[in-house]
Structure 1
């Protein structure tokens, strides 16, 4: 499954956190069906109805395998409804090779190198639960986890055309770190892909 940063409709108001109606915890295998439906609804909402079950099955298989990987630097978080205990939002973080600029060097291509850094992906909120601060709460929770791992920064990608997601990240303290050149002129995207970073 391709990395996704956030559903563009995930959370328009990060300060409107009604946390009394939901809680954040680590995902379990029993959450996979709900998470898969949330991801397909959020990132593949234009998927033809006949292909929807296949998309859910594919994501379920992939996610189920990731949850079996007990890496100390991987986590899948879910927000669950207090009433039903069902997953209503999700986010993943793991280590990924990220282009980083050598300390004190100018922004030329030969001064960039890749290092494994914490990377957030697949942030999505169920349509019925958007606008309640859930995405913001997931971000702050995962940032605490990354900090406990001993890292100073966390990274994610977002399209510059995804205004609501970009606003959420900026309000959460993320700053544009690099523009991915290979994405800048991709005819299948509606904007440039921005690598954002937050100091923890």
Structure 2
């Protein structure tokens, strides 16, 4: 599908978006088929409840954005991202809060059209508005497409995490990536 500037908008999420956002997130991170297909609706319900709860809360340093495609007859939610200020390393000697991106997801049908890049840019704008100079996120080491996106957007891999539980379960390492923002 071709993407033009006039058909895509990045805007703050509303409570009314929660169901569509849960679908995008579930298909991006928790989509099961075949024997395990029955799990997908249950996971989507859990994601919906969690997201609905976060959208109802008003927090100073939390935002959820949606990427919406406008057609002649309807608007379709095709992507989402959240940004919040949180403790990134609570076990540090002097833990500090910093902006952190989570739940960046784009509907598989709309990937590779620059939507994730636009969602990241919107988060970076929000971080500057909050007067912070950097933003961070985690990406799985085996997620090559996401790693390439972040590196091409100016993020740097700072370190790899591998908790004992991930090692025992033979899960990929989480990479901590960060971008310094100019004012």
TM-score (norm 1): 0.81
Specify whether residues 91 and 186 from structure 1 end up closer, same or farther in structure 2 by C-alpha distance, changes over 3 A only. farther
Partner Cα distance (1:164, 1:18) in 2:
22
Question: How much has 1:116 moved relative to structure 2?
Answer: 1.1
- Among 26, 30, 44, which residue is 1:44 paired with? 30
Gaps of 5+ in 1: 1-15, 101-108
Partner Cα distance (2:149, 2:3) in 1:
13
Q: Say whether residues 1:177 and 2:165 are aligned partners.
A: no
Q: Say whether residues 1:79 and 2:67 are aligned partners.
A: yes
Q: Say whether residues 1:192 and 2:180 are aligned partners.
A: no
- Give the equivalent residue in structure 1 for 2:128: 147
Structure 2 contact 63–82 (Cα < 8 Å) conserved: yes
The size of the alignment, in residue pairs, is: 175
Specify whether residues 87 and 55 from structure 1 end up closer, same or farther in structure 2 by C-alpha distance, changes over 3 A only. same
1:22-56 deviations in Å (ceiling 9; x for gaps):
11000001111110011111101236222222111
Gaps of 5+ in 2: none
Residue 45 of structure 1: SS of its match in structure 2?
Answer: coil
| CA RMSD after TM alignment | 2.1
Structure 1 contact 36–59 (Cα < 8 Å) conserved: yes
Partner Cα distance (2:37, 2:44) in 1:
11
Q: Say whether residues 1:35 and 2:17 are aligned partners.
A: no
Structure 1 contact 178–195 (Cα < 8 Å) conserved: yes
Structure 1 contact 17–134 (Cα < 8 Å) conserved: no
Higher relative contact order (CA 8 A, sep 6+): 1
Question: How much has 1:61 moved relative to structure 2?
Answer: 0.6
Question: How much has 1:115 moved relative to structure 2?
Answer: 1.2
Runs in 1 of length 4+ with deviation above 4 angstroms?
none
TM-score (norm 2): 0.88
